Amino acid sequence: MTDYEKALAFWQSREIRTDAELAEVLSSYSISFAFHSGKIENDHITWHDTREVFEHDGVTSYTGDLRTLFELRNAKEANELFLRAFQERHPLDEALILSMQLQLTHGTYDTRRWQVGERPGEYKHHDYVTGKNEIGAAPEDVHEEMAELLEELKDVEPKKILTAAAYFHAKFENIHAFADSNGRTGRLAMNYFLVLHGHPPIIIHEEDRRDYYEALEAWDTKQDLAPLKSFLAAQTEKTWEKQILRAERRRDAQEDRDYGQTD
């Protein structure tokens, strides 16, 4: 069994059915996800501040940029949205993605974006591109391309969920649907798709961002999904390795106790 298969088996053994059960298994994961996902695009984010916001709903003696503090608070609220949507088994649709982006960017759009009509929770109104290949759909095409992408995710075979998640993330970032927070929204939406289909969510670790960007670029330039799928499998292993190790130690200890009782 590969480490990825161990992570999948560990997750599915939990048989998560409610938002409370999901919140319990994600108790430490949610902070790590918010920290790494935020720091990929904002180097001012720290682990200490992220933990303080999630655990205490605020930061003491904070002297940093206020936008960063808003982003951390928004990440916590986005996590609550994630849990509520799971409880309702809300499909991953345009309405949910727009809500995720709204929650992640509430109060963070700068004056320039606001003056040209951009708003949190709305698709972009102007032609923004990203990356060295300047990818991004035209504003008038975003709704149609997003609708087509989400339609393609329906009725995915269970054994192809990771492939579908990689495809969604690559296409979503290529469309570049929003004026801001495409990366954070895409990572959150991808994880919701995974959890909704019985797969463990993934932390894309900020120290691995170069490999992450290269994997996305492989899709942008060659429509090659293999690097991103491989990267996501490796990040899944990295995300859950400590939990799997603890579970294996508990199992081994239980087997030793059972053996001792029958000796």
Cβ atoms < 10 Å from Cβ of 261:
7
Tokens of 166: 């990689």
- Please state, in angstroms and rounded to a whole number, the distance separating the CA atoms of residues 99 and 121: 6
Active site residues: 176
Measure CA 198 to chain center. Answer: 15
Q: Residue type at 161?
A: I
The CA–CA distances, whole Å, from 231 to 101, 198, 242 equal 24, 19, 19
